[in-house]
Structure 1
Amino acid sequence: MQNFLVRETIVDLLLRIEQDSGFSHLLIDHEIKSRNIPPKDEALMTEIVYGTIQRKLTVDYYLKPFIHSAKKLQQWVRMLLRMSVYQMKFLDKVPDHAIIHEAVEIAKHRGHKGIASFVNGVLRSMQRRGVPDTAEIEDEAERLAIETSHPQWLVKRWIDMYGYEMTRDMCHANLERKPASIRIQPLKITRETAMDELQELGFELRKSHFSNQGILIDQGNILRTRLFEQGYVTIQDQSSMLVTEMLNAKPGMTVLDACSAPGGKVTHTAEKMQNEGLIAAYDLHAKKAKQIRKKAAELDLTIIDAKPGDARKLQEQHEKESFDRILVDAPCTGFGVIRGKPDIKYHKEKEDIDRLARIQLDILEHVAPLLKKDGRLIYSTCTVDRAENNEVAENFLARNPDFHVDPDFFEQLPAMIQDSPGCSEIGLQLFPQTFSTDGFFLTRIKRV
């Protein structure tokens, strides 16, 4: 019975994510807690939801020959078919006959005998005849889009920017899992001590080369450990850690984090400052500013002053040339974090890129006067689109001659990154396939 309820929950989740453009990771977490999903079912439920979303366009391509009146298909039936096909074609944990049986039972429970018969017919026909071969798609961009379940407009855009091979590798990387990544709180524990404790619990670990606080987890659930519960470690991707490392904030400095939520970089910055100095942290929403304060408290960090505030109006809050360091981790399309938030790739359009690029440039223009002479500003995003990254930085520098890219930035990057394909004269573009991190852009700008 529990198995049936879990799969009913998966249908509900897929519906909400599809219809309400809800963020999958937040909805999954909410459902696990509110429905008291047992730990043994958590992993499978998460895998089916994420996997079905991640492979949505591929699954729809497989389903197309077997559904003759797709427009009339109720949304919940479509979600039920998608999750069933995903399991049949991409998972080995449950045999096909069991997947089909459970799908039919859900169809009976939510609909009627006719819908159950339809679901049974579609899935058994696919099982018998097999799925269409993507190799038959002649256009290479369309074929790559279907095979890796990325919108075709986005694949074509990336091909224009980076070429077919780079785009192919990026699309395939977006379907893979990356290792979990955590950061120690160095004022409470050393990396070696944390790794020793986790290895004793059976964790498989590696040191990160991006930050001397970073640890990669190949095996083990950090959420159920003393270290996480007591604020000795926090979850953060390596690329995000690199942003703070390159900000190079020192104890006693005054720092501005203009777009601070959810708080990973600002708490890392406070740790780098040894909890000495002041960090003014802002987010547009009061709820998110509260989230930053909560995260800082969990890590026993006291120098962060987190408030709600629009990054484009911070000159009303602070005098010009007030800060030694400024971090602008700008709002963006998020195309660099598709692996962890697969719904992003279906909910963005070309117009979103253009709109966000204007906002990003506007934020830079408004916060730059707050930087002291000889100060440093990091501009970063978690996307891979040049219009939001290189072009925004180039436009800002062209309009502000007393700012330029800090030449020391490239020399201070970790050695393994310095010759990576994403390095340019304007900054660093990390691709998800290069170091198995999130896709991220960052550059460091100096005021002269």
Structure 2
Amino acid sequence: MDSSIYSGLKVEAVARASRVFRREDEAIASLKPSRTAERLAGEAGYSPVLVEKYIQILGEEEARELIAWNDKPLPETIRCNDFLIPCSELESMLSQKGFVVSRIPWLPHGIEVIEQPIRVGATHEYMQGLYYIQDPGSMLVAYLLGVEPGETILDMAAAPGGKSTHIQQLSRDSTILVAVDISRRRMRALRSHMQRMGFRSYVALRADSRLLPSIAGIGWADRVMLDVPSTGEGIIRKDPERRRSRSQADVLRIHYLQLELLYTAVDLARPGAPILYAACSTSPEEGELVVSRLLELRSDVEVERLESPVGSPGVDSYLGVDISGEARRCLRLWPQRHGTEGFFICRVRRRV
């Protein structure tokens, strides 16, 4: 399809007009759990449909492992802000206060807090901006975007600031960061984190990112970060209510929001620029299917293979839905495999 005739806000209408997409949406919306899924869901307090999705993707044995892992407490982890302090010095300061900490070997700035005499968010070091409380999977995202000094980088769903502060940390506050989010409350948190951690080279804009082409034009961002709003099915360890709080209708609604945002991200990127798409979800509807449909709607996008220290390839078979083989180049983080939250990460590039 000719991408030039669509705007981000029209993507859902265009996609739903596709006979193939309609058939796939019907299959997704009408997913029926098996008896095995219903039994496992009853035992663990899950939505039977969510458990059926686990089984479809992972098989019954690993689905059981995932459910068991989701009952384990999520480790407390922080990202050292080496813009203000060497990580070794931060470790020493925390140890002197009675914290037991350990470096996360596959993350340059990741530290696990094993024991804490006081809440890790209530220390002077935290108030001084020496670290950010963040899950390892979420930390990984900014590294995979890649950052070069002097670039103009757009963060399209920026608040409360985890990815934005990390981008500025990696660039030594030398990029021009445009941080956009629709939530007034969360944008206040972003500004607070930026100030706390010592970053100044940014613009914070409260807006619906799907409207950015009409506000700021197209084709100007050197890189785009898009950690989309999601169902949060990947954070069950943090929020157990996610086990049963979302229907397939909710998933499809959020899928189209994500597709609109990603479509708009490509418009905003300059030719040749990478876009890092991430979703805190285990559902292919929020990951591989979003990327696959983007490729159907536009001919000016390619998926790049990610070089990551951890992760599994993207899903390429799900409910009979047509998922592009390029989705295998994307990355999935699973609690039972990688000890993180459930995450989908994909880097696409706008063709020159």
Gaps of 5+ in 2: 1-33, 316-326
Structure 1: runs of 5 or more not aligned: 1-137
User: Match of 1:153?
Assistant: 49
Q: TM-score, normalised by structure 2?
A: 0.82
Secondary structure at the counterpart of residue 323 of structure 1: coil
Residue 144 of structure 1 is matched in structure 2 by: 40
Match status 1:444 vs 2:336 = no
Shift of 1:421: 6.1
Hey, what does 1:260 align to over in structure 2? 158
Partner of 1:277: 175
1:167-201: CA deviation from partner (whole Å, max 9, x where unpaired): 11111111101211101111111111111222222
Task: Give yes or no for contact 1:393–1:426 (8 Å, CA) kept in 2.
Answer: no
Matching residue's letter, 1:356:
I
Measured in 1, the distance between the counterparts of 2:173 and 2:143 equals 15
Superposed CA offset, 1:123-175 (max 9, x none)? xxxxxxxxxxxxxxx94323321332211121112212321122111111111
Q: Distance in 2 between matches of 1:294 and 1:213?
A: 21
Q: Report the residue type matching 2:58 in the other structure.
A: Y
- Number of aligned residue pairs: 305
Shift in Å at residue 324 of structure 1?
0.7
Distance 1:436 1:422 in 2: 17
Question: Does the residue aligned with 1:347 lie in a helix, a strand or coil?
Answer: coil
Match of 2:67 among 144, 160, 171: 171
TM-score by length of structure 1 reads 0.65
Q: Specify the SS of the correspondent of 2:178.
A: strand
> 2: distance between equivalents of 1:366 and 1:375?
13
Question: What whole-Å deviation, never above 9, does each CA across 1:345-381 have from its counterpart, x for those lacking one?
Answer: 2321110111111111111112211111221100100
Partner of 1:340: 238
Q: Deviations over 1:258-297 (max 9, x none)?
A: 1111111111111111101211111112222222111111
Whether 1:203 and 2:106 are equivalent positions in the alignment is no
- Output the CA distance in 2 between the equivalents of 1:139 and 1:375: 47
Q: Residue 81 of structure 2 is aligned with which of 165, 185, 189?
A: 185
Secondary structure at 1:242's aligned position in 2? helix
Greater relative contact order (Cα < 8 A, sep 6+): 2
* CA apart distance, 1:241: 0.6
2:200 is aligned to 302
Do the aligned partners of 1:406 and 1:445 also contact (CA within 8 Å) in 2? yes
**Distance in 1 between the 2:121 and 2:190 partners?**
19
Q: Which amino acid aligns with 2:217?
A: E
Work out whether residues 45 and 244 of structure 2, in 8 Å CA contact, stay in contact via their aligned partners in 1.
no
- What amino acid sits opposite 2:334 in the alignment? F
**2:186 corresponds to 1:288:** yes
Partner residue in 2 for 1:95: none
Deviation at 1:333, TM superposition (A): 0.5
Task: Give the superposition deviation at 1:437.
Answer: 1.0
Alignment of 1:126-137 (within 5 A): none
Residues 367-446 of structure 1 mapped to structure 2, 5 A cutoff: 367-407=265-305, 409-410=306-307, 413-414=308-309, 417=310, 420=312, 425-446=328-349
One-letter amino acid of the counterpart of residue 429, structure 1:
R
* Shift in alpha-carbon separation, 1:368–1:345, aligned structure 2, 3 A: same
Encode CA deviations 1:370-414: one digit per residue, 9 max, x unaligned. Answer: 11122110010000000110010111122222211123x23xx12
Matched to 1:174, the amino acid is N
Q: What does 1:67-78 align with in structure 2 at a 5 Å threshold? A: none
Amino acid at match of 2:56: D
Kindly indicate whether the alpha-carbon contact (under 8 Å) linking 2:230 and 2:286 is maintained by their aligned counterparts in 1.
yes
Are 1:180 and 1:216, in contact at CA under 8 Å, matched by a contact in 2? yes
Tell me if 1:240 matches 2:138: yes
Contact 2:304 2:349 in 1 (8 A): yes
Contact 1:210 1:241 in 2 (8 A): no
| C-alpha distance in structure 1 between counterparts of 2:295 and 2:242, whole Å | 30
Residue 210 of structure 1 contacts residue 239 of structure 1 at CA under 8 Å; is this kept in 2?
Answer: no
CA distance in structure 2 between the partners assigned to 1:351 and 1:426 by the alignment: 28
Determine the C-alpha separation between the residues in 2 that align with 1:250 and 1:360: 26
CA contact (8 A) 1:210 1:238 kept: no
Name the CA shift for 1:293/1:341 in 2 (closer, same or farther; >3 Å): same
**Amino acid in the other structure paired with 1:207:** R
Structure number with greater Rg is 1
Asked if 1 retains the 8 angstrom alpha-carbon contact of 2:313 and 2:329, the reply is no
Q: Quick check: 1:185–1:299 contact (8 Å CA) kept in 2? A: yes
Instruction: Tell me the C-alpha RMSD between the 2 structures.
Output: 1.7
Higher helix share: 1
CA deviation string 1:202-256 (max 9, x = no partner): 3222212342111011111322322112111110111011111101112211000
In 2, Cα distance between equivalents of 1:320 and 1:289? 23
